Structure 1
């Protein structure tokens, strides 16, 4: 019974690690997309200022 409990706990633990990794990856991608979007906007405004 204890071994089953430990196995269940480890499965939950690995699932949590995977979900945390996926969420961090999603967050990083979202943040980088937002950063590139803002950089593009700034770049366009600079170009508009110069030309």
Structure 2
């Protein structure tokens, strides 16, 4: 569980998001790509990249 908090914290710091918004971004990216949330979070850490929210529509 602490890894999930770490990954959420990375998003919060990199993109200026609150805790809920960071988790929502991880979750929505997971759903859009049909990839497990844990894999999305691991990729975030491994790539040192950022996740960009996509417009809903």
> What is the TM-score normalised by the length of structure 2?
0.30
More helix by share: 1
Q: Which has the higher contact order (CA 8 A, sep 6+)?
A: 2
Higher Cα Rg: structure 1 or 2? 1
